[in-house]
């Protein structure tokens, strides 16, 4: 146990630390912000409280003592190369990820992966238990760590424990495939509050608990009998959002606005720029989006002189087979469409398999006349909210898949079923042709929603729910 003074009253536990350890061009080790929406959402929360963050530094076999970065106390968890393969790439990203995203890709079930998942979850729980003060609060995040709440409660019954699930929770008919379905539910029920993105996710979870376990379920409360004492777990939706401030600030900066104009110029000044921004992941519907755009060009409904699609696909989980295959498929179709339609001055699809700093992303959002979010399934989709946050000019169109958590809130977007390519094509045409007055009416309503419900409101609501449980004990 560290000295008492080193104990934190608030601890976040997430698979990744907010920074990743990476090798610089000269082989030197440096840190950069880690990928994905989770870190972007939690960073402002952490800056607001004096807490510690337990997580993996993003590389195998890195053994590091706790350190402070950007004012945050970080506690690294070491994963061996085989644990990265079996726990992270295997169970988290080739079993749970595809299963929970409605089996868009087939989940792989391997007992050794499960064993590694249990072992690594225990390690995270131990690190958190060592870091947190008596009676403190631990907030566990996401599908990589579903067993941590119960493991932590077993070691430290004095704690208040929250868990937030950033991805969808599937219907029982799919969830029931999981060979370890009961253990995972029991793991999550170690928390006092289990938070989900959408009401439907919470409903699916509660239905699974009702079907598979013997606890009483009433409304959003699960009542657990622990050696004669009753404990209540609350499971409900807390839709996550973004920190809107850096987006509105960057969008107002003259240099960022100038960069947006430069981007348009660099693309040959097309009348309309369409934008897609995703991790390169099969849940994001990138192939469907590209197919729809390609067909519109083939049919002459759009031309490359008038419209360019910019697709940012940031590299992700590059050693998992499904991701390797997806990259090949996307790059083949981009090359075909560009080969058929490009001219010397205009390109159909400007494809960027890279990540970009936030400033450059905001410049792209400002340059984009329409943002295409066509995920087949997505817990929330924060890119949709980022786009809206930057558009203080009330221009631009958000085309948004019905299968994202964001669609529950952002009703004034042009909502689409990305499986229906004709619907997707019509939505793209609507976005390209939408009159300024309609853009403005929709964007105003979207902005109100996003600016009023930012990530601070999200964490405040979640932590208030945790407080309520603590006070009722
Ligand atoms: C999603 C998940 C996060 C994850 C992120 C990036 O947003 O909800 O938990 O960190 O993707 O994925 P990666 O596998 O690179 O951490």
Please compute the mean of the pLDDT values over residues 141-162 and round it to a whole number.
Answer: 98
pLDDT at 1: 44
The answer, yes or no, to whether residue 4 has pLDDT greater than 50, is: no
- CA distances in angstroms from 32 to 72, 79, 200, listed in the order given: 14, 19, 35
Q: Look up residue 380 and give its two tokens.
A: 């929330």
Q: Which residue has the higher pLDDT, 454 or 71?
A: 454
Q: Look up residue 186 and give its two tokens.
A: 């029991």
- Are 76 and 24 contained in the same domain? yes
Q: Which residue has the higher pLDDT, 48 or 177?
A: 177
Task: Find out whether 175 and 216 touch, Cβ atoms under 8 Å.
Answer: no
Give the separation between CA 91 and CA 188, rounded to whole angstroms: 16
The rounded percent of the chain whose pLDDT value lies above 90 is 89
- Are 362 and 400 contained in the same domain? yes
The rounded percent of the chain whose pLDDT value lies above 70 is 98
Alpha carbon of 297 to ligand 1 centroid (Å)? 34
Of 132, 164, 157, the C-alpha closest to 11 is 132
CB-based contacts of 241, cutoff 8 Å, min separation 6: 41, 382, 385, 450, 453, 454, 455, 457, 458
**Secondary structure (3-state) at 124:** helix
Please compute the mean of the pLDDT values over residues 162-173 and round it to a whole number.
Answer: 98
Give the separation between CA 263 and CA 213, rounded to whole angstroms: 55
pLDDT at 37: 58
Cα angle, residue 278 at apex, residues 272 and 284 outer, rounded to 5°: 100
The counts of H helices and E strands in the chain are 18, 18
pLDDT, tens digit, 9 for 90 and up, residues 98-140: 999 999 999 999 999 999 999 999 999 999 999 999 999 999 9
The answer, yes or no, to whether residue 5 has pLDDT greater than 60, is: no
- Are 436 and 464 contained in the same domain? no
Average model confidence (pLDDT) across the chain: 95
Give the separation between CA 472 and CA 173, rounded to whole angstroms: 35
Alpha carbon of 88 to ligand 1 centroid (Å)? 10
Q: Look up residue 84 and give its two tokens.
A: 């990265």
The answer, yes or no, to whether residue 87 has pLDDT greater than 90, is: yes
Burial class (CB in 10 A: 0-12, 13-18, 19+), 191: buried
- Are 119 and 218 contained in the same domain? yes
- Are 251 and 221 contained in the same domain? no
Cα atoms in the 13 Å half-sphere on the side-chain side of 228: 0
- Are 310 and 390 contained in the same domain? yes
Give the separation between CA 219 and CA 9, rounded to whole angstroms: 31
The answer, yes or no, to whether residue 48 has pLDDT greater than 80, is: no
pLDDT, tens digit, 9 for 90 and up, residues 425-436: 999 999 999 999
The answer, yes or no, to whether residue 28 has pLDDT greater than 90, is: no
Task: Find out whether 385 and 450 touch, Cβ atoms under 8 Å.
Answer: yes
Cα torsion angle, 95, 99, 100, 101, sign:
positive
pLDDT, tens digit, 9 for 90 and up, residues 153-165: 999 999 999 999 9
Cα angle, residue 400 at apex, residues 449 and 384 outer, rounded to 5°: 55
Q: Which residue has the higher pLDDT, 21 or 293?
A: 293
pLDDT at 36: 63
User: At 39, is the pLDDT very low, low, confident or very high (cuts 50, 70, 90)?
Assistant: confident
Alpha carbon of 17 to ligand 1 centroid (Å)? 11
pTM assigned to the model: 0.96
pLDDT at 25: 83
The answer, yes or no, to whether residue 422 has pLDDT greater than 90, is: yes
- Are 60 and 131 contained in the same domain? yes
- Are 71 and 158 contained in the same domain? yes
Please compute the mean of the pLDDT values over residues 182-186 and round it to a whole number.
Answer: 98
pLDDT at 3: 46
Alpha carbon of 232 to ligand 1 centroid (Å)? 29
Count of beta carbons in the 10 Å neighbourhood of residue 224: 17
Domain count, the chain: 2
Alpha carbon of 84 to ligand 1 centroid (Å)? 14
- Are 188 and 266 contained in the same domain? no
pLDDT at 30: 85
- Are 359 and 433 contained in the same domain? yes
Give the separation between CA 110 and CA 90, rounded to whole angstroms: 8
Report residues whose beta carbon is within 6 angstroms of any ligand 1 atom: 15-16, 35-38, 93, 142, 166-167, 316-317
pLDDT, tens digit, 9 for 90 and up, residues 345-389: 999 999 999 999 999 999 999 999 999 999 999 999 999 999 999
**CATH number of the domain enclosing 326:** 3.40.50.2000
The pick from 18, 20, 37, 84 for probing ligand 1's pocket by mutation, whose C-beta has the most ligand atoms within 8 angstroms, reads 37
pLDDT, tens digit, 9 for 90 and up, residues 217-276: 999 999 999 888 899 999 999 999 999 999 999 999 999 999 999 999 999 999 999 999
- Are 181 and 249 contained in the same domain? no
Give the separation between CA 261 and CA 211, rounded to whole angstroms: 56
Domain that holds residue 332: 244-452
User: At 305, is the pLDDT very low, low, confident or very high (cuts 50, 70, 90)?
Assistant: very high
User: At 472, is the pLDDT very low, low, confident or very high (cuts 50, 70, 90)?
Assistant: confident
- Are 10 and 87 contained in the same domain? yes
pLDDT at 38: 67
Task: Find out whether 240 and 457 touch, Cβ atoms under 8 Å.
Answer: no
Task: Find out whether 424 and 374 touch, Cβ atoms under 8 Å.
Answer: yes
């Amino acid at each position: 146990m560290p000295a008492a003074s080193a104990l934190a009253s608030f601890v976040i536990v997430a698979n990744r630390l907010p920074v990743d350890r990476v090798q610089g061009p000269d082989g030197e080790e440096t840190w950069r912000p880690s990928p994905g929406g989770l870190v972007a959402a939690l960073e402002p929360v952490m800056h607001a409280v004096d807490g510690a963050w337990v997580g993996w530094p993003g590389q195998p076999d890195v053994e590091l003592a706790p350190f402070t970065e950007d004012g945050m106390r970080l506690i690294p968890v070491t994963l061996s190369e085989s644990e990265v393969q079996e726990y992270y790439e295997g169970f988290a990203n080739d079993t749970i990820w595809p299963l929970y995203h409605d089996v868009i890709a087939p989940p792989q079930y391997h007992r050794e992966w499960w064993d590694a998942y249990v072992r690594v979850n225990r390690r995270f729980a131990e690190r958190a238990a060592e870091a947190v003060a008596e009676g403190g609060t631990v907030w566990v995040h996401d599908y990589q760590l579903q067993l941590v709440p119960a493991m932590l409660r077993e070691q430290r019954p004095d704690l208040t424990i929250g868990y937030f699930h950033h991805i969808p929770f599937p219907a029982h008919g799919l969830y029931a495939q999981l060979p370890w379905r009961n253990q995972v539910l029991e793991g999550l029920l170690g928390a006092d509050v289990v938070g989900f993105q959408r009401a439907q996710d919470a409903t699916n979870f509660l239905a699974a608990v009702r079907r598979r376990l013997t606890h009483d379920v009433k409304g959003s409360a699960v009542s657990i009998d622990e050696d004669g004492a009753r404990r209540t777990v609350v499971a409900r939706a807390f839709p996550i959002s973004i920190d809107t401030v850096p987006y509105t600030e960057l969008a107002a900066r003259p240099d960022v606005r100038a960069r947006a104009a430069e981007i348009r110029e660099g693309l040959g000044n097309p009348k309309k720029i369409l934008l897609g921004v995703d991790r390169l992941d099969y849940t994001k519907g990138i192939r469907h989006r590209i197919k729809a755009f390609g067909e519109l060009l083939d049919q002459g409904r759009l031309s490359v002189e008038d419209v360019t699609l910019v697709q940012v696909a940031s590299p992700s989980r590059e050693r998992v087979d499904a991701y390797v295959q997806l990259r090949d498929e996307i790059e083949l179709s981009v090359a075909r469409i560009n080969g058929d339609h490009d001219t010397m001055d205009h390109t159909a699809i400007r494809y960027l398999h890279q990540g970009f700093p936030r400033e450059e992303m905001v410049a792209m959002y400002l340059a984009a006349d329409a943002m295409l979010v066509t995920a087949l399934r997505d817990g929330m989709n924060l890119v949709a909210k980022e786009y809206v946050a930057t558009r203080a000019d009330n221009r631009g169109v958000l085309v948004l898949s019905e299968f994202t958590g964001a669609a529950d809130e952002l009703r004034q977007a042009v909502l689409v079923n990305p499986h229906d390519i004709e619907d997707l094509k019509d939505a793209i045409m609507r976005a390209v042709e939408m009159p300024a007055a309609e853009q403005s009416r929709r964007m105003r309503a979207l902005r109100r929603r996003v600016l009023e419900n930012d990530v601070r409101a999200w964490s405040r609501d979640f932590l208030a729910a945790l407080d309520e449980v603590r006070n009722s004990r």
